[in-house]
A and B are shown apart, each in its own frame.
Chain A
Amino acid sequence: AQSVAQPEDQVNVAEGNPLTVKCTYSVSGNPYLFWYVQYPNRGLQFLLKYITGDNLVKGSYGFEAEFNKSQTSFHLKKPSALVSDSALYFCAVRDMGGNNRLAFGKGNQVVVIP
């Protein structure tokens, strides 16, 4: 079965510093990978996806993610964090078995300190 792991519970970063949220995946075949962000009392918002092609994927709000096949990772990055980036971040992989459901990691709480 497809799965992703987010090893950290919370990521603290000072405003203006680089932000990294880690994700590793376990799939059979080529992965379809996603990052979503959830603000308090809101639904999940799509940030970016990796399907194929360039390993560096750019998404919304200045976020990007790097697909690394040898390390089976898909870490989310932002060069300069903002206080408004404080939220819950989910990595997900798409089930390729026909229903396209998403399997999510446990989520990472990101706290950007002013």
Chain B
Amino acid sequence: GAGVSQSPSNKVTEKGKDVELRCDPISGHTALYWYRQSLGQGLEFLIYFQGNSAPDKSGLPSDRFSAERTGGSVSTLTIQRTQQEDSAVYLCASSSQLSGGGEQYFGPGTRLTVT
């Protein structure tokens, strides 16, 4: 079946602009995660959704970052007033409650470059 999809695959934006990143999880997966991958920081957890609610936002680096999930499916990560340190690859993952191990399946990522 279809995997996790993300769009856009690449985004170049000017410092100070807002960006929206989209994630479409595997159908039926109730849990959705956002991670950020950068050279200096490795893979960092950002936020977790169970259904439409976000019980854990502890990884969001600042109040410029927000995310929502609608209909228990698609999620959007929004970064306001982008800064150069926001440049990274943003990865989305989903998992099924039915899987005993809870392994997460990742999308291809969105590479964000802030100039």
Dominant SS among interface residues on chain B: strand
Complex CA distance for A36 and B31, rounded to whole angstroms: 18
How many B residues touch A, CB cutoff 8 Å? 25
Q: When the two chains form their complex, are residues B91 and A103 in contact, meaning their CB atoms are under 8 A apart?
A: no
Kindly list chain B residues whose C-beta atoms are within 8 Å of the C-beta of A105. Answer: 42
Q: When the two chains form their complex, are residues B101 and A51 in contact, meaning their CB atoms are under 8 A apart?
A: yes
Given contacts A32-B101, A32-B102, contact A101 B45 (CB under 8 A): yes
Q: How far is the CB of B71 from chain A (nearest CB, A)?
A: 21
Interface centre among B48, B93, B103, B104 (most CB of A within 10 A): B103
Q: How far is the CB of B39 from chain A (nearest CB, A)?
A: 11
Q: When the two chains form their complex, are residues B102 and A42 in contact, meaning their CB atoms are under 8 A apart?
A: no
Given contacts A99-B56, A101-B56, contact A46 B42 (CB under 8 A): no
Given contacts A100-B31, A101-B33, A101-B56, contact A49 B103 (CB under 8 A): yes
In the complex, 14 of the A-B residue pairs with CB atoms within 8 angstroms, ordered by the A residue number, are A42-B108, A42-B109, A43-B4, A43-B107, A43-B108, A43-B109, A49-B101, A51-B100, A90-B43, A100-B31, A101-B33, A101-B56, A102-B35, A103-B45
